[in-house]
Amino acid sequence: MLHFKSRRGASRRHFLKHLAAGAAWAGPAAHFLSTLQSQAAELKKNQKSVILLWMGGGPATIDIWDLKPGAITGGPFNPIGTSGDPQICEHLPKMAQQMHHMSIVRSMSTREADHSRGRYYMHTGFVPNPSVDHPSYGAVVAHQLEQTRPNLEIPPFVSVGGNSTGPGFLGLAYAPFIVDSNGRIRDLEMKTTESRWRARMQFLNQLESQFISQNRGPATTEHRKMLEKTNRLLTSTQMEAFRIDGEAQSVREAYGNTAFGRGCLMARRLVEVGVPFVEVDLGGWDTHSDNFNQLATKLPEMDQAMAALVADLSERGMLDQVALLWMGEFGRTPRINGNTGRDHWARSWSAVVGGAGFQRGIAVGKTNSDGTEVETTPYSSEDLMATVLQSIGISLDTRFTAANGRPMKIAGGGRPIKELLA
Amino acid sequence: MNAPLPLTRCPLHRTVIFAVAAISIIVFLSWSASADTAISTANQDPVAHLDALMRTHWEENEISPSSAATEGEWCRRVFLDVIGRIPTLDELDTYLNDNSGDKKSRLVDRLLSDQYSEAYTRNWANIWTNVLIGRSGGSERNSRTNRRGMQVYLEEAFGENRPYDQVVTELINARGTSRPPTASDAAPDFNGAVNFLAMKLGNNPNDPEYGTQATAKTSQIFLGRRVQCTQCHDHPFNRWKQNQFWEFNAFFRQTVALRRFEGGRNIAFIQLAEQDFQGPTGEPEEAEIFYDRRNGVRMAAYPVFTDRDGAQTELARSGFVEDVDRRAQLASLVRRSGYLPEALVNRYWAHFFSHGFTQPFDDMGPHNLPSHPDILQYLSEQFVASGYDLKQLIRGITLSEAYGLSSRLGAHNEADDPALGEAPLFSRFYPRQMRAEQLYDSLLIATRADKTGQTTADQERKRAEWLRQFVIAFGTDENDEKSTFNGTIPQVLSLFNGDLIQQSIDAESGSFLGEVIRDGELTPREKMDCLFLAAFSRKSSAKERRWANRAFANHESATAAFQDVWWTLLNTNEFILNH
């Protein structure tokens, strides 16, 4: 059924204004409010979620999390001490204060060094395969945790910036809902009356069902699911989570007035209302030339936003519920090329995790003296994904049934990284 | 069944009957002429031969195809796929009331004739612009490519149905400037075709990464071979080796894309030109490029083209343009390549059937063998024999039995479901989302915005703006991007509340809806049928009219009720899917 859930956009905002002013609104509103409050309390107890900080383009982790000072591959940056065990790049002074909440995996070793293949592989735990469209992290987590939040009215997988990959065989209902970092969502305002909207939905529901019943395949049912989701979202007060201008000035300043800063703040607001998976993009890491100058301007933006997010989650008591994951599609060559750049490199690189059920403040794995080889057990995308899923309590025995009827192991059958799980 | 609706009484229809009749005579003549020169290598009618091949596959897989699509469904489908929009009521009516035995081929020929030249040209120029420079190419700040310039070239090429092999040659070998003439710039060296490579090359051919995008895209788009990953290592699944990537890349090293500025650092246009290539060691007589093996060993590469079955053509190693013009050579090697026709046929088949003979259609090779090699080969041969005639190919595909099948599952083809990861058997039509462009242009038919006296430039600007909201660029060196017009929430929101839909349900005079509502000669039921025919290419059923009556019974006016019917139809799966 397509439910009509009352109240169009204009009056919703009006309604919220009243709430903010403390005006009383008897009946349904009061009921609504109490639901929201109990929901928030429950979330703080046991609603897990994941925030993925996606570094599009493939960051030079050898200059960020696993420095090689003195090596010919090392570059000009110096390592600094942190509140955890590992040392990190001098351009991350704020993160250095938060590293007791985070851990570095320095032994990532993957095979895909092409952007689109790497993005797919790191997002799904599977290498691209023409006959199966695999679900991405966000879709898997949304699919697994959705049942635990019956009151969630907004999409369970939000991508701030849109660099994510799709829901694969789990279907469009688990597709990323893509917003820009300003949280602007087009065409949210219903341009008609409530009663006319309701009538349209009634007729639309009948026509949709009729066409679905004609047995024309999944595209017809997928369409109806999206109608339902969209209709629900139109009337939801949870949409306020996208509006970071509701935050105090001091909080916004802490995250930084950058696209990534706003995205990280929005991510916190979204997991607060119960969204199981939020992905925030920071692109521009494809530093084939002028790597070090580019990093010197890029890292501070990342440092401020990421550190503010970790600190904020920690202060709000949410860090045990929220798994954080920082990664790109691959690392970059230890060798510095003729343009002072670094090229694509998947064989030895770093990812960072934190919060949730992770062991924190450590570095797992080790690369050799010039960063070209992993010297300890190498970890794959599958292993990293299995670790993240386990950190929020998703069973690795979960099996999906792919569209072709074949059972498919969650996280590509990866094995969790033991040292990382507390 | 419903009683037949006197369609001639629908608005939109009355004035053009004469024109349609007149044009179809001309079309028929041109069609007869082209039939002589057409596909003639097989004695049999090529469409019949294609059908026979396809039927053998169905038999081998022990399935029977779905029944044929209704006439309305087929008509809607072929309009969407060939000219990029749904048919108007008139166009639908002309087809449905054509009683000739070859009405299908008459319609396809009409769509490929001068009558629809503008719509056909625009549709395919848009499709190919997206292929060649991406959906966002040219709209980035200070872009190195000129989107309009690309379109100008493609409109010229598709407008005259230029042979495909010639188009490919012109794109690969383009020289000149990227920006079309403007009021202040006559642009004497303008050649829109340069825009394909303009964003994929730079001005320093000694950069070790120079032209990797030109290499990857040229191979993927024209040869159906994805070689990106062989830039760094041998392909894990097929026979492409790393040296072949760089040997291909070496063909682009004499070419520079020079930026021409205006007003400080703003790129005015790009000039694509050849210059002698020295090579990193400064020895133009033997101008090599270097690449690194994964084990760190540095290797040299020279221009060598590896074709189908491993056949190789090696150029002289000189970097002097006067000795050997590498890009001109590449253009002619690609033109003669055995990969060229099959890559194009696979691309076009995927356009019409939503799945190619390989998935994805532009990743062919020993690691990804075609599901219907015989059909791919046959169509490729026909395509070459026709002189790389794209319209002939479209004709053959759209008139095939498979393209005319219903999208409803039959009793004996449940197994044919590519959504299950199985290779498609084409025993039914797979419904697919309209592309954003198709929706926009179809809604224009509904709003008649094209008749409101706006200039073409204004219309194009609005259209481009609307389309841009759905494009996300990933910002990598490969210009990866995707469209959010993919059935997810932003698309649904746009159809629920967006400006375009608001215009569509405008009931003012001059709008389609307004004319239907105000037409005194139409009964309410006929008005309903007009809306259903426009949206779905079929009439309303009694049940549907009952549903609408019940839903909208309490509306303040009949106008409001019809507006809401129209809004609802445009938001259904039946409308948004090409089925």
In a domain, B384, yes or no: no
Q: Hey, which residues does A354 pair with through a beta bridge? A: A102, A324
Q: Which domain holds residue A78?
A: 48-183+243-420
In a domain, A216, yes or no: no
Q: Which domain holds residue B308?
A: 134-336
In chain B, residues with a C-beta closer than 8 Å to the C-beta of A403 are 419-421
Question: What Cα–Cα distance (Å) separates residue A207 from each residue in A59, A91, B305?
Answer: 49, 58, 55
B473 DSSP 8-state letter: E
Which structure tokens are listed for B223? 């040869």
CB B469 within 8 Å of CB B439: no
Residue among A127, A172, A223, A294 with most chain B CBs within 10 A, to mutate: A223
DSSP A285-352: ---SSSHHHHHHHHHHHHHHHHHHHHHHHHHTT-TTTEEEEEEES-EE-SS--TTS---EE-SSEEEE
List b or e across B374-405, with b for residues whose CB sees 16 or more CB atoms inside 10 angstroms. Answer: ebbbbbbbbbbbbebbbbbbbbbbbbbbbbbb
What pLDDT shows up at residue B9?
A: 44
**CA–CA gap between residue B425 and residue B427 (Å, rounded):** 5
Q: What percent of chain A has pLDDT over 70?
A: 88
In a domain, A410, yes or no: yes
Residues with Cβ < 8 Å from B71, sequence gap 6 or more? B95, B96
Interface contact A130-B408, CB threshold 8 A: no
Which structure tokens are listed for B568? 């609802």
Per-residue pLDDT of A303-360, as tens digits, reads 999 999 999 999 999 999 999 999 999 999 999 988 899 999 999 999 999 999 999 9
Number of domains in chain B: 2
- How many angstroms away from the CA of A317 is the closest CA of chain B? 32
What pLDDT shows up at residue B400?
A: 98
State whether residue A80 is helix, strand or coil.
strand
Interface contact A211-B494, CB threshold 8 A: no
DSSP B395-462: HHHHTSTGGGB-SS--TT-TT--GGGTPPP--SSPPPEEPPHHHHHHHHHHHHTGGGS---HHHHHHH
In a domain, B75, yes or no: no
**CA–CA gap between residue A187 and residue B492 (Å, rounded):** 9
Question: B453: how many CB neighbours lie within 10 A of its CB?
Answer: 6
Residue A47 host element (H or E): none
Which structure tokens are listed for A136? 């991405």
Q: Using CB atoms and an 8 Å cut-off, which of residues 473-512 of chain B contact chain A?
A: 474-478, 480, 482, 484, 486-494, 496-498, 502
**CA–CA gap between residue A93 and residue A400 (Å, rounded):** 42
Q: What is the dihedral of CA A275, A277, A280, A283, to 10 degrees?
A: -160
Q: Is A227 exposed, middle or buried (0-12, 13-18, 19+ CB in 10 A)?
A: buried
By C-alpha distance, which of B425, B397, B419 is closest to B64?
B425
CB B424 within 8 Å of CB B371: yes
Residue with tokens 């809806």: B513
- How many angstroms away from the CA of A73 is the closest CA of chain B? 13
**CA–CA gap between residue A9 and residue A13 (Å, rounded):** 6
- How many angstroms away from the CA of A231 is the closest CA of chain B? 9
In chain A, residues with a C-beta closer than 8 Å to the C-beta of B232 are 113-114, 343-344
Beta strand A157-160 with A277-282: parallel, antiparallel or unpaired?
A: parallel
Beta strands in A21-173 (DSSP E): 49-55, 79-80, 88-89, 102-108, 157-160
Nearest CA in chain B to A174: B488
By C-alpha distance, which of B80, B400, B417 is closest to A215?
B417
Residue with tokens 């139409």: B522
In a domain, A18, yes or no: no
CB A422 within 8 Å of CB A358: yes
In a domain, B52, yes or no: no
Choosing from B311, B336, B361, the residue where a domain stops is B336
Report the CATH number at residue A384: 3.40.720.10
B443 & B331 share domain = no
Interface contact A217-B417, CB threshold 8 A: yes
CB A50 within 8 Å of CB A276: yes
Q: What is the pLDDT along chain B (579 residues), one digit of tens a residue?
A: 344 444 444 444 433 333 333 333 333 333 333 444 444 444 578 999 999 999 999 999 999 999 999 999 999 999 999 999 999 999 999 999 999 999 999 999 999 999 999 999 999 999 999 999 988 888 777 788 999 999 999 999 999 999 999 999 999 999 999 999 988 889 999 999 999 999 999 999 998 889 988 999 999 999 999 887 677 667 665 667 888 899 999 999 999 999 998 877 788 899 999 999 999 888 999 999 998 887 778 899 999 999 988 899 999 999 999 999 999 999 999 999 999 999 999 999 999 999 999 988 999 988 889 999 999 999 999 999 999 999 999 999 999 999 999 999 988 998 898 877 788 999 999 999 999 999 999 988 766 765 555 677 787 888 888 888 787 766 565 556 777 777 888 889 999 999 889 988 988 877 899 999 999 999 999 999 999 999 999 999 999 999 999 999 999 999 999 999 999 999 999 999 999
Interface contact A117-B229, CB threshold 8 A: yes
Q: Which of B550, B555, B573 sits opposite A223 (nearest CB)?
A: B573
In a domain, B183, yes or no: yes
In a domain, B357, yes or no: no
Structure confidence at residue A13 as a pLDDT band (50, 70, 90): very low
Interface contact A189-B360, CB threshold 8 A: no
Q: Which of A10 and A384 is assigned the larger pLDDT?
A: A384
Question: What Cα–Cα distance (Å) separates residue B516 from each residue in B58, B450, B482?
Answer: 45, 18, 38
CB A285 within 8 Å of CB A59: yes
A72 DSSP 8-state letter: T
Amino acid identity of residue B434, one-letter, is M
Beta strand A102-108 with A88-89: parallel, antiparallel or unpaired?
A: unpaired
Q: Which of A119 and B482 is assigned the larger pLDDT?
A: A119
**CA–CA gap between residue B344 and residue B165 (Å, rounded):** 10
Residues with Cβ < 8 Å from B60, sequence gap 6 or more? none
Choosing from B336, B362, B385, the residue where a domain stops is B336
> Positive or negative, the Cα torsion across A250, A253, A254, A255?
positive
In a domain, A126, yes or no: yes
Interface contact A208-B496, CB threshold 8 A: no
CB B303 within 8 Å of CB B251: yes
What pLDDT shows up at residue B25?
A: 36
Question: What Cα–Cα distance (Å) separates residue A332 from each residue in A59, A62, A341, B232, B239?
Answer: 6, 8, 9, 12, 26
In a domain, A32, yes or no: no
Q: Which of B408, B430, B498 sits opposite A215 (nearest CB)?
A: B408
**Is B552 within 8 Å of chain A by CB?**
yes
Q: Which of B474, B487, B564 sits opposite A283 (nearest CB)?
A: B474
In a domain, A90, yes or no: yes
Residue B391 host element (H or E): helix B390-398
Q: What is the dihedral of CA A22, A28, A31, A33, to 10 degrees?
A: -40
In a domain, B569, yes or no: yes
What pLDDT shows up at residue B453?
A: 59
Residue with tokens 């403007």: B182
Q: Using CB atoms and an 8 Å cut-off, which of residues 214-233 of chain B contact chain A?
A: 228-229, 231-233
In a domain, A67, yes or no: yes
CB B517 within 8 Å of CB B562: yes
Q: Which of B420, B476, B497 sits opposite A187 (nearest CB)?
A: B497
Q: Using CB atoms and an 8 Å cut-off, which of residues 553-572 of chain B contact chain A?
A: 554-555, 560, 564-565, 567-569, 571-572
Number of domains in chain A: 1
> What's the alpha-carbon Rg for chain B, to the nearest Å?
26
Nearest CA in chain B to A218: B419
Interface contact A132-B497, CB threshold 8 A: no
In a domain, B45, yes or no: no
> What's the alpha-carbon Rg for chain A, to the nearest Å?
22
> Which segment, A284-288, A410-414, B488-492, B540-544, is predicted with the most confidence on average?
B540-544
State whether residue B292 is helix, strand or coil.
strand
Nearest CA in chain B to A373: B295
CB B111 within 8 Å of CB B79: yes
In chain B, residues with a C-beta closer than 8 Å to the C-beta of A288 are 209, 477
In a domain, A93, yes or no: yes
Interface contact B487-A199, CB threshold 8 A: no
Choosing from B278, B305, B336, the residue where a domain stops is B336
Which structure tokens are listed for A71? 């090596």
Interface contact A338-B469, CB threshold 8 A: no
**Is B549 within 8 Å of chain A by CB?**
no
